[in-house]
Every structure is written in C-alpha cells, then in structure tokens.
Amino acid sequence: MTSSELRQKFLDFFEEKEHKILPSASLIPNDPTLLLTIAGMVPFKPIFLNKIQPNFKRVVSVQKCVRVNDLGNVGHTARHHTFFEMLGNFSFGDYFKKEACLWGWEFLTQWIGFCPARMWVSVHRKDQEAYEVWKNYVGVPPERIVFLGDEDNFWASGPIGPCGYCSEIYYDRGDAMGCGQSTCAPGCNCDRYLEVWNLVFMEFDRKADGTLEELPKKNIDTGMGLERLASVVQEAETDYETDLFLPIIQDLEKMSGNDYSILALKPPFRIIADHIRAIVFLIADGIYPSNEGRGYILRRLIRRAYRYGGKIGIHQPFLHELLFIVIDGMGNAYPELDLRKDIISKIVYQEEARFEGTLKSGEVFLNQLIEQAKKSQRQQLSGKDIFMLYDTYGFPSDVAEDILQEEGLQFNKAEFEDQMEQQKNRARKARGEKDQLMRSQKEIEELFTGVNSRFVGYNQSMVNTEIVALSDGEDRISQAETDQKVIIALKESPFYPEKGGQEYDTGWIDSEQGRVQVEKVYSEFLIEGTVVSGQIKENDRVWAKIDTQRRRLIEIHHTTTHLLHRALREILGSQVKQAGSWVGESGLRFDFTHFSALSEDEIDAVEDIVNQKIFEDLPVVISYSSLDEAQRAGVVALFEEKYQSLVRIIRVGDYTAELCGGTHLRRTSEAGLFKIITESSIGSGLRRVEAVAGPVAFSYLQEYYRLGRNIKNILGSDHHQILPTINNLIENNKRYKEELQRTFQSHARQAIFDALKVAGSNDTPIYLTHLFVENPPEVDYLKEIIDELRTRLKQGMVVLGIKKDEAISGVLAGINLPQSIDLNRLVREITKKIGGGGGGRPSLVQFGGIPFGSWEEFIKAIKKMTDQIS
C-alpha cells in the first residue's frame, strides 16, 4: 500500500465516521508562541484552550509539520525527521475514549491490515477507564496492555490549562528488531515495539497548584505519523526505505554516482532526503531564507543539505533540481507545490549558489583550525576563531558546529557569544543619536501625561479647537513667543502623526495673537512647531489647519501603495508579503519579500495594473470591523503588527482590502498616474520598490521627456530613431576603441622588439627592460609579449612596465634561468624597500604600485640580485 493510499484511507475512514475533512493548515501557525506548525493539533489549539467555539464537533486532517529541535538525530536514527505528516482525528466535546480506541483499532486492523496479535497498547497508570475500554470493548488481551507514567502517557498544553492522559498503539516488529532484554516491551528504547498512534484524552484542567479538575467538555486529539505507518505497512527497516523517501534517495544516487547501500553514506543520503522535503514545504507556505526566525530555519536546512551533498560527491548546486522529485510525489495531496514549483526552485538555487562560495572559502580556514586543534590535542576551539570565521567569511556558526561535531570537536560558545555581543554594542553605539532622539520623544510624552486629544483629521482639514498644553521640550510652559520652538497638544487635532509608514502632516495653528508653523507630528497629541509671529498661550482658541496640498500628495502615494502591494502579488505570486513601507509627499517606498530582482517585463506589468486600477476610478471605502471578522473576510494584515480589537479596513473597489490607519483618496482616479522609479535588493529575500504618483509622477515623466527631446535635438533624428542612432554610436565607438587599442599594442610590440635588438648585442643572458609612459597597453598584453619572447630567446630576464598615475605596474619574467632564481621571492624583497608589491610563479611575476621615481632602482636591484644568484 502506497503512502498516498494510506493518507486517503485515513481521511475516508473518518469521513465515514461523520468527521469533517479539513485541509492541512499552513506551516506558519496563527500562534505567536510558535515559529512553525509542529503538531496536528496546533491549528485547533484555540479550541482546546476554549478561546473560540468550533464550527464542527468532529474533524479529521493530514497536517504538514516541521520540527527542528533534534536536528542532530535526523538521518542517524530510523525515525527522526524535520518534515512529517501527522494523521489526526479530533473531537471537540463530542465522542471520547471508547470511540477513539474502537475506531483506532478498527482502522489499523480492518482498513490497513495490521495483525491484532502483533498490536499492543499503553495507558497511563492512573487511567483505569482507558484500560477497561481496551480490554472490554476493543478486546485487547490484558497482557498486551501496558501501564506507563507521565513521561509517556500524559499530555499538557502548558504548566496550567487543558491536559489529559494518553493511550498509545504499538506494533511489534519482531525479535530481530529488539534489544534482546527480557524486559523489552512497549516503552523500551529499541526498535521492536514501534509507537504508531497516540490518542490524547483531554479531560482535565490543571490549576496553578497542580490539581486536576475535570473539563465540562472533553476533547480527543490523536496523532499518527504517516512516515511510521508507511514503514510498517511497507515492511521497511526504517522510514527512509518507504516510498516517501526512496525516490529522492534514488535520484541522489544518480546525481552523485554513489550507492545508498554503502553504510557510511546512509546518513548524508537520509539527511538530504529529509531536509529537501522540509525545504519544499516551507517555501511553498511563503517562508524565504533569512537570518532570523522561520527564514533562518529554512536557510539552515538548505545549507545543511547542500553541505551533505559534498559528502556523497556532489560539489555544485543540486537541491534546486532534486526538489522536483518531492513535488512529483506529493503534488496530488498538496496542489500548492506544483503551482509554486518554479519559485521554489529559484529560491533554493539562489541560496545554494550564495552558500557555495561561503562554504569553499570558509572551510579552508576552518580545516586549518581543526588541524591545529588536533595537533595540540585540544577538544575545544576558540570562540574568537569561530567568530572570525563568521565575521570574515560569513561562515555560519551552526554550520561550523556541525562540522566540528563530525570531527569530535566543539567551540567555546560563551566566547563566541561575547564577540557577537561586542559587535552588537559597536552597532548600538553607532545608532546612539537615533536612540537618544527616541528617548527624548518618550520624555516629552511623559511631560504631557494626563493630557487628552482627539484626532479628527480623517474628515477635517481645519478645526477650531483649543490649546490644552504647551512645552518647550524641557518643561511645561504657559505661553511661547516669536521664534520659540514649541510642542503643542490640541483638544482636537487634524494633523496625522508619523506612523504606519506614513509621513506626518504639516500646517499652521493660528490664534488671535500668534501663529505656529507645524513642522512635525509625533502622535495624535504631540505637535512640534515654531512660533513664527506673535505669541500663543495655553487655553487659546485656535484654528488648526493642515497643508492640504502636502496631505493630498501623501494620500495619493498611500492609496497607490495599496494598489502596488496587490499588483506585486498578482505578478510575482501570493508568497509576496509586505516587509515595510514609507509614504510621503515626494513618493513612496515599498519593501516586500521576494527571492530575486524583478525583470523589466515584471516591472512593466506591475505598473500597468496599478495605472489600470487608477483609470478604472475605483471607490476607496473605509470601514471598521473586529479583527477576527476582518481576517475571516481575507483582509490583508501584517503578521508582525499588533492590532486593536476594532480595526480600520481600506477597500479599493473589489480589488484589494487591507488593515490600515493612514489617510487616503476617495477614488483611485484622483491619483492620476503611477510610475516605478527603482527596484533593488535591501537584504536576502527582501526587495524594495520606489515609486511616484500624481503630480510627482507627471514631473518625473516631464523631466524624462525633456531629456529625450534634448537627445533628439543633439542627434538630429526623429524620436523613433533615437535608440538605433545611440546603438550605432556605441558600436562605432567600440570599434574605434578596438582599432586604437590594436594600434597601441602594435606600437608597444614594436618598441619591445626594438629594445630587444639593442639588448641582443650583449652576451647571453639578455636583460631586456622597457617602460611604457605614453599610451600604455594592458598588463595582459605584456604577458602575451612575454610568451612570444620565450620562443625567441635562449636565456634572459625581461622587465616590462606601464606608468599610470605616477605608479608602475607590469611583469617580470625569467626565460631558462637557473632554478635557484625565484623571481616571486625576489620581487617581494625589493618592493619591501622601495614600495609596491607583486606575486606569481618563480619564473613569472606580476607587480604593481611601484613609485615612478623608483623604476631605475627597481631594475638595478633585479639585475644585481640575479647576477649574485647566477
């Protein structure tokens, strides 16, 4: 029976038992306490914790899971994995122990074909009820029911809260798989009794004092690993010999030319086969390689798999090809894999290629450290050395740790962390001014403690209000005079503060006695400005007016940012997620997750969509909703953001809906025009688009129009002929440069051979020197001349130089000189005294940086030292 058949049979069986089949949840859990979905019950955790009411009383699922807490065991044991599929059936206050046990036994014996005589169960030593169910209702002989303690048969969601006893179903794989001990039974650490299915009876609420109270509604949570089930059904020695892993391993055998049956190669084969499954599913769920969180887990798995490829003879990127065997095998169960296979492959290849160079350069240094440690019989390497490896080569400490463990070594982690902390402190010091600014803002806010203000700027650009508090930045004050900097709190404020990526409003505050120019808005009630005339006082009635032209430009850029976000997801894929943004009067900046640079066609397509939505004159509608309702309706929210229970939703027609607190246009047509200026990388897996809209976009295009018009006038051609004319000029220029270079090279060659005629009048060996000052050729051409001279001279020394910017570079060559003459060492000794440097082979050295005034000294030193040696 194949793993695909097992997966489907499980779903079909429980569907017959009136369970609702639910698809696998994402590997990104909706749970801030978890980085990844690590168990089948994770999506239902809010139900078990009684935070939400379920829509169904009975549910069945096959949940994709990833765990990385025991990476060191993966590939070295029969059943440790990073990615696995958890088959689970759940009851939310419906059936309980009797049904869970009966159906578990029925499925395994009647639907899968397990021999009842080889099946055992375990129950908690205090769970007499479960024992009675297994013995009296299921019919398991008492001698094959084992009592175990909390470590094996008790589940809890935490130190307090829902918990309960477990019951596990075991399969006896026979004496050959056992430890041979007379005490061998379920719960033993050997491979004979394989735990197949864990049934959790969630029946208690554990209090802070440790007491257990019965829950009013009792739940069932079961979990059975597909990999383990397949290994029993397919009679495989380990999970890796099942159809879930063997096709991957066989593909690896073809790639590497090595055989999985070789005992020493089994672990690397298994590690790669395991990791590639996790890699595929993590990326399919929108996780990209990065240096923190989920992204770092993915990056680490790719690096480990790539490095283990070297151990089976693969020394170039290969994972981006191997992953297609995973997608082919699991695409039917998880259609998202096939939809995203090209993106997954590109991301993996880029990460492999990036790590390839790091691994090659860093391993040389690390191997030297390992060799030194072994020579001095040390078991531990310096943390400073591993930090230098990281800081100099970008070599990850976790990869270094893996390699050291394979060599029976470790490094001083405390010393490494100390070096990392020192580096962070240096970075913190560099950010000191910014931190000081943030501290001062907090201090200012404390001056206004107890002051209340109401933001009215969504609907009003001008409001008649009252100054409720003033400050000079140091203390609260009652009034401020002309030219004085002041911080104001208004009873009602139309000024939007700097938040959510949107720039603050500017404008004016006018009273009968004075005027304040608003320069910055920290929050809804902290307005910074300068008294430009008269004076203002606490309790003054004032008119607060925003700069509507500036606000308009910001609204244009903010509204088009929403369109841009959706357009990027349309063109690049739903894995694109916002990673930051800024909108102001001069333009917008949008950061997002993506694995590669956008092509010109992709940029054009995004621009076209945004402009099309502008031209469609879509309404921009603001509404409010609970966060749960908004998420159920598919409104886009930033995972990292913290939202209030009541959220503000921006809908642009039926095209996009996002949670946002900023200010926006009323209709998209008010934006006028949209243009992307630049697209660039801001880090691994992160891209940035800078764009302009409205009048700013028009000014940008006008500037380019004028530039094109000037170019057209200079070239004297029609605008349709500008590009062909420029291309023609470039080609002609390139051709002229090549001809000029050939002329210079011809003159250089002639000069050298003229010098050779003069030097040739002397006895062998010949000393030939020449320095090019005017129109110097390239050093590579001098090497070509050296090659030609080797065919003409029986023996000699040739020194050819090029003067550029008062420094000389060139080549020094020996032709049939005695082996005792090492020109490489000779040049190093001379340049130590006169300046410059060089390197190469004993018979051919390239040098550079020699001061122009030291050329003759350089030549004399070479002649003198070679004369002494010969």
CATH of the domain at 670: 3.30.980.10
Mean pLDDT of 448-465: 90
**Which positions ≥6 away from 196 have C-beta within 8 Å?**
108, 168, 169, 170, 171, 224, 225, 228, 229, 232
Whose structure tokens read 């005339």?
533
The pLDDT of residue 441 is 65
Mean pLDDT of 688-704: 94
**Of 84-93, 391-400, 594-603, 623-632, which has the strongest mean pLDDT?**
84-93
**What confidence tens digit (pLDDT) does each residue in 475-492 have?**
889 999 999 999 999 999
Cα distance between residue 823 and residue 456, in whole Å: 81
The pLDDT of residue 157 is 65
Examine the domain organization and report whether 530 and 569 are in the same domain: no
| Domain of 67, in residue numbers | 3-241
pLDDT at 785 over 70: yes
Burial class (CB in 10 A: 0-12, 13-18, 19+), 752: buried
Structural domain contains residue 237: yes
pLDDT at 643 over 60: no
Nearest to 127 by CA among 98, 147, 101: 147
**What confidence tens digit (pLDDT) does each residue in 326-335 have?**
999 999 999 9
**Which positions ≥6 away from 446 have C-beta within 8 Å?**
none
Mean pLDDT of 202-224: 89
Examine the domain organization and report whether 372 and 288 are in the same domain: yes
Examine the domain organization and report whether 753 and 815 are in the same domain: yes
Structural domain contains residue 37: yes
CB 438 within 8 A of CB 475: no
Beta bridge pairs of residue 223: 198
Asked whether residue 594 is marked as a ligand-binding residue, the answer is no
Upper half-sphere CA count for residue 704 (Cβ side, 13 Å): 7
pLDDT at 368 over 60: yes
Examine the domain organization and report whether 84 and 215 are in the same domain: yes
Structural domain contains residue 400: yes
Give residue 139's region: left, alpha or beta (phi > 0; psi -120 to 50): left
pLDDT at 667 over 70: yes
Structural domain contains residue 42: yes
Which of the four pLDDT bands, split at 50, 70 and 90, describes residue 541?
very high
The pLDDT of residue 763 is 59
Mean pLDDT of 560-578: 91
The pLDDT of residue 259 is 94
More confident residue, 736 or 627: 736
pLDDT at 142 over 70: yes
Structural domain contains residue 712: no
Whose structure tokens read 């990850």?
396
Percent of the chain with pLDDT over 90: 51
Which H or E run includes 523? strand 514-523
Asked whether residue 275 is marked as a ligand-binding residue, the answer is no
Asked whether residue 320 is marked as a ligand-binding residue, the answer is no
- Segment 732-738 long-range contacts (CB within 8 Å, at least 24 positions apart): none
Percent of the chain with pLDDT over 70: 95
Examine the domain organization and report whether 689 and 757 are in the same domain: no
Cα distance between residue 133 and residue 103, in whole Å: 12
More confident residue, 441 or 643: 441
Asked whether residue 562 is marked as a ligand-binding residue, the answer is yes
Mean pLDDT of 238-259: 95
Side chain identity at residue 739, one-letter code: E
pLDDT at 103 over 90: yes
- The helix, strand and coil proportions of the chain, stated in percent and rounded to the nearest 5, come to 45, 25, 30
Which H or E run includes 746? helix 722-759
More confident residue, 776 or 257: 257
Which of the four pLDDT bands, split at 50, 70 and 90, describes residue 519?
very high
Question: What does DSSP say about strands 796-804 and 766-772: parallel, antiparallel, or unpaired?
Answer: parallel
- Cα distances (angstroms) measured from residue 809 to each of 582, 848, 851: 49, 4, 9
Nearest to 285 by CA among 297, 274, 271: 297
3 state SS of 508: strand
Examine the domain organization and report whether 398 and 507 are in the same domain: no
Examine the domain organization and report whether 522 and 572 are in the same domain: no
Which of the four pLDDT bands, split at 50, 70 and 90, describes residue 432?
low
Examine the domain organization and report whether 357 and 232 are in the same domain: no
The pLDDT of residue 636 is 59
Examine the domain organization and report whether 233 and 262 are in the same domain: no
Examine the domain organization and report whether 580 and 530 are in the same domain: no
Cα distance between residue 63 and residue 25, in whole Å: 7
Which of the four pLDDT bands, split at 50, 70 and 90, describes residue 638?
low
The pLDDT of residue 194 is 92
Return the minimum-mean-pLDDT range out of 29-33, 434-438, 707-711.
Answer: 434-438
- Give the mean pLDDT of the chain: 88
**Which positions ≥6 away from 595 have C-beta within 8 Å?**
288, 343, 346, 347, 350, 685
DSSP alpha helix (H) spans, 376-412: 383-393, 397-406
Structural domain contains residue 863: yes
For the chain, the domain total comes to: 5
Burial class (CB in 10 A: 0-12, 13-18, 19+), 543: middle
Cis peptide before 765 (omega within 30 of 0): yes
CB 50 within 8 A of CB 62: no
More confident residue, 718 or 127: 127
The pLDDT of residue 434 is 43
Residues counted in the chain? 870
- The first and second tokens of residue 383, run together, are 């943390």
Mean pLDDT of 204-215: 86
Backbone angles phi, psi at 30, to 5 degrees: -85, 60
Give the other-Cβ count within 10 Å of 21's Cβ: 13
Mean pLDDT of 372-383: 87
| Residue at which a domain ends, from 196, 220, 241 | 241
The pLDDT of residue 640 is 43
Cα distance between residue 722 and residue 331, in whole Å: 50
What is the model's pTM? Answer: 0.60
Structural domain contains residue 801: yes
Whose structure tokens read 């589940």?
155
Backbone angles phi, psi at 398, to 5 degrees: -70, -35
Examine the domain organization and report whether 262 and 230 are in the same domain: no
**What confidence tens digit (pLDDT) does each residue in 800-850 have?**
999 988 889 999 998 888 877 888 888 888 888 888 888 888 889 999 889
CATH of the domain at 27: 3.30.930.10
CB 550 within 8 A of CB 585: yes
Backbone angles phi, psi at 293, to 5 degrees: 60, -140
- Cα distances (angstroms) measured from residue 374 to each of 369, 404, 409, 412: 9, 11, 9, 16
pLDDT at 437 over 80: no
**Which positions ≥6 away from 803 have C-beta within 8 Å?**
771, 772, 773, 776, 852
CATH of the domain at 754: 3.10.310.40
More confident residue, 683 or 507: 507
pLDDT at 561 over 90: yes
Backbone angles phi, psi at 24, to 5 degrees: -60, 135
3 state SS of 690: strand
The pLDDT of residue 647 is 81
Cα distance between residue 280 and residue 302, in whole Å: 10
| Residue at which a domain ends, from 702, 720, 735 | 702
Backbone angles phi, psi at 541, to 5 degrees: -80, 135
- The first and second tokens of residue 470, run together, are 């003033």
Cα distance between residue 658 and residue 559, in whole Å: 11
Side chain identity at residue 326, one-letter code: V
Cα pseudo-dihedral 209, 213, 218, 221, rounded to 10 = 30
In the DSSP assignment, the letter for residue 584 is -
pLDDT at 268 over 90: yes
Which of the four pLDDT bands, split at 50, 70 and 90, describes residue 435?
very low
3 state SS of 347: helix
CB 188 within 8 A of CB 225: no
CB 383 within 8 A of CB 417: yes
Which of the four pLDDT bands, split at 50, 70 and 90, describes residue 391?
confident
Examine the domain organization and report whether 502 and 563 are in the same domain: no
Which of the four pLDDT bands, split at 50, 70 and 90, describes residue 451?
confident
CATH of the domain at 478: 2.40.30.130
**What confidence tens digit (pLDDT) does each residue in 147-201 have?**
999 888 998 866 777 889 999 999 999 888 888 888 888 888 888 899 999 999 9
Structural domain contains residue 739: no
The pLDDT of residue 438 is 43
Cα angle for residues 629, 634, 640 (degrees, 5° grid): 85
Beta strand ranges found along 786-843 (DSSP E): 796-804, 807-815, 837-841
pLDDT at 101 over 70: yes
The pLDDT of residue 439 is 47
CB 811 within 8 A of CB 782: yes
